[in-house]
Structure 1
């Protein structure tokens, strides 16, 4: 792609030059109706895949309550990257790498921020209410980590009340497991209650049937763009060279199935039936103002896991159950950073592929109202919490869970989209 600052393009017989640079300290504004000052202003611009009735899915960018259809907009501006947006997935664009990501973002800020571009770009805007949203990228591999000190400590206290809550390895490496990429679904997809083996603590043998302890985990997912070669280690400092952006993520969990199966190899069927992600992928570039220091790591990690300042992210999460907010987990409290997750995931030479997804594990803070799973909110089902005047522990059929995410942007808060799912009864 030609750097947009150097371009002079002819569109429909008109000559367009770049918009003037705003004065220092001035806030760029967009001409898109209702978008200025919203969670989806120029300092956000997340990517997704959408379709209109009877049309194939293609790549778009959200601005306010509109989707910019990128293929015609980019083709009309004669951008070399235009063909990347004709696909029904973000993967070709993700694979193009950081230079293309940055150039396209700069071009988007220009065309959506300059009134002189309006007549040419506005025809490519589609109201969000008129589109269907799809899984934004093809998931190559999926890894889920366990990076919240508060969550890991809570789980340890729930299941091992007479022992140390953290296992010996937890403060030395980001613990994780390899999940199932094929059951990652987009926000809005209904989730059917899984069946499996579960064994009651006082029973001698297991039984088979629908999970009775269905749970959610509020997490943040990271989407890999640029791959790495087999045998190559990706250092913490190369995080932004490989990771394009983030998605909200709900790691649905059947706690009774998980408790019976996980020894000795970890989660399997209790996790693999569904993982929901947001329809919008927020670029790391939009989260630059959300970067914060980690809370502190003791002992100091081994050299390959060391990071500098501002390795964490200040992202606020809301967990809503049937229309009522039941928890507000803070991502800023996470012990292990995403750069450390990536470094550990590849330290043995495992390769990255475009579309790889890795998740943070449950986000929980130190307060009860900051717990990112129902397991913690109900303390293993022993301490019910209240929703709409009724005592609750785990999910019931018909429940709707919505996870919402916001973060500081360059000029205000930005939205990372939402992750929505409704529980269906188990299959007969």
Structure 2
């Protein structure tokens, strides 16, 4: 028996590619569509409206299709209030609970549309009926009695639209290729950073130890010193090898200036960790003159917060490393709030971790020498990222240089 339902979409659904994605998903899932109304905006800034009938071979198939297109911003013609069910116990959510995307989301409650606060992918939505507010909450933080949204009824997703203005993030959005004019892109990213800084926005860097290994540590330290970085997310390794380099001139026992191994250099990173343990913390090591330069030094000297998240692979670890991963997640979320751009450089797992916490409205740049790493990040849900296949040792010095050139031109 054929089942059908009418849905509607509003906004810049043509030039943002939303309609094309909807058609593809309906057909890929074995359904059909009929366009009933299609009002196209006449100007670039005018929104469009479409009403469609989706048909499928069974009710189950139809619901699966509707669930997919819901994520693109499609919704039924008549929207009812969300269905709320109280959690039976801490960390026990009602069956069939709604799971969020990282796109702006609203719910209909008591006849009104309410924005969902602190949106993050793969969370639940909890409603406070007294204050008429909604927030996204991790599964592990659900508490007994929380009113959780169940099903997609009354939930509306605002799928990201193509920017009205020309920008790097419009041109490069959502694809990975090594055949790109990297220096031109880096110049555009530098311009975005300067624009964000001028507007008072926050810029975060997610960094891996390859930044140190490739000799790019000085460039990142300079960016922090010059005010282009507002928060640093990393692991034990980046901080350890940054400190190792500034104490001994090596990274993983290799002389950064010559690329040659140093006799006994394999001990240097452990010695570096030991010196910070002796001092008590990275800040105390800077304050007492143990550390005299580098990325962590500039963070301390310029009051730039950093979150070092631990790993089972860590040596030491440094005393500043947060070894409880859930506590580290919360620390990252605290500093992600208000970020306008995130630069993810040479660290796959850390980039995915931070990317999972980001709303889709945050401009995201991911740089890695391995194209598969960039693809994996976007496959995990960070579809707003633009990706550059490049070595950290090439990217960061070029970016620092472009920031210097363009900021100098702006002052003239």
TM-score band (shorter)?
A: under 0.3
TM-score (structure 1 length as normaliser):
0.25
Please say which structure displays the higher CA radius of gyration: 2
TM-score (structure 2 length as normaliser):
0.26
Of structures 1 and 2, the one scoring higher in RCO (CA 8 A, sep 6+) is 1
Greater helix fraction, Structure 1 or Structure 2: 2
